[in-house]
Amino acid sequence: MHNRRVLISGASVAGPTLAYWLHHHGFEPTVVEKAPTIRPGGQAIDIRGTALDVTRRMGLLEQARAACTAMRGMSYVDENGTELFSTTEATLTGGDVDSPDIEILRDDLAGILYEATRSNVEYVFDDSIASLTQHEDHVQVTFERSAPRTFDLVVGADGLHSATRALAFGPEADFIHHLGTNLAVFTSENFLDLDHWQVYHQTSDGLAGLYSARNNTEARGMLGFLGQPLGTRDVHAQKRAVAEHFAQAGWEVPQLIKQLWEAPDFHFDSMSQIVLPSWSAGRVTLVGDAGYCASPLSGQGTSLALTGAYVLAGELAAAGGDHVRAFARYEATLRPYVEANQAFALAMSAWQQDQSTPQPSIHDVSSLLELPTYP
């Protein structure tokens, strides 16, 4: 085995999963994370299809299932709070209530993955990659805070706006495809006393919602609206833009905006996809949203991250650390699965604009990949 020292940028889902499997196969992973700890907050996410098998092989399936949101259903209301529609068969965030899929808060899953790897993996928090210089047999890495280090391989697992991708592949504008929608998610008080329930209000060009979290002790607020990306990463400016957009909305939106301003965490971004001609550049490769974000409209972002990390580590092990062969096999194995899920997200976007057509089924894409077995 060669190319054992692997630097992974990002400690959300894809990064710790990749670290788990790399260690399992005898590599020496290091995870660097810009935040001072595992990032809090984020929306409810889903482990589906092929990714359930990945989680099972990690021995974390039951732990993840125990932390599931356990949603019972959802309802839609008008601007006065009058119920327009209610169902106990499905939810907006998780799909069918009685499916084997696991809906879990993003930070809860990230915490589970971190606890499963922290004793065997080096984590460097409150730091990030500043530069990458590739050589024939290694990558020289400088950091924003730490001393420079040498690694055999570098993996970007740092999300839609991956800094690793920008360093190794070029500017984000070359690869990002916006889908015309923006979404804010933030932790809120459960001020509607929801019991494992979701409530939504449709505005003329957006959606406001609240769903309970962590056994109803808190909630997550959602405010999504049509439009181009805001063009700013400044959190205060993002909050102000969301608040102004929903300033005239009815229902409980004024209270949601109040919660937004007071939230201990706030996540905002455009619904976008990342499409690259190749996921690797020399000794640097990408996994999860950094390489092939399908957008939340796919409902498969977490599953793609889990599955992609498993396949990447497995192919590196199968190739004895030969990154050229492993990266090629990783992409050949996973790209059809990624492209099918990105196409599904586009179909969902089109359906939302014209619901006279049948709604696409996520079950048509969530299990398309037969999970390989690696030594």
DSSP string, 133-199: EE-SS-EEEEESSSPPEEESEEEE---TT-HHHHHHH--GGGTEEEEEEEEEEEEE--TT--SSEEE
Name the pLDDT band for 177 (thresholds 50, 70, 90).
very high
Provide the pLDDT for residue 359. Answer: 84
- The domain locations on the chain are 5-70+99-176+273-364, 179-271
Classify domain 179-271 at the CATH topology level: D-Amino Acid Oxidase; Chain A, domain 2 (3.30.9)
Provide the pLDDT for residue 353. Answer: 76
Provide the pLDDT for residue 355. Answer: 75
Cα first-last separation, the chain:
13
Name the pLDDT band for 313 (thresholds 50, 70, 90).
very high
Indicate the pTM of the whole model. Answer: 0.96
Give the DSSP H/E element, type plus range, for residue 102.
Answer: strand 102-105
Q: Which of 34, 27, 56 is nearest to 121 (CA)?
A: 27
Provide the pLDDT for residue 357. Answer: 79
Provide the pLDDT for residue 361. Answer: 86
Provide the pLDDT for residue 352. Answer: 77
5-70+99-176+273-364: in CATH 3.40.50.720: no
Q: Give me the residues paired with residue 221 across strands.
A: 186, 210
Mean pLDDT of all residues in the chain? 96
Across the range 353-370, mean pLDDT stands at: 85
- Give tens-digit pLDDT for 21-65: 999 999 999 999 999 999 999 999 999 999 999 999 999 999 999
Within the chain, what is the greatest distance between any pair of CA atoms? 65
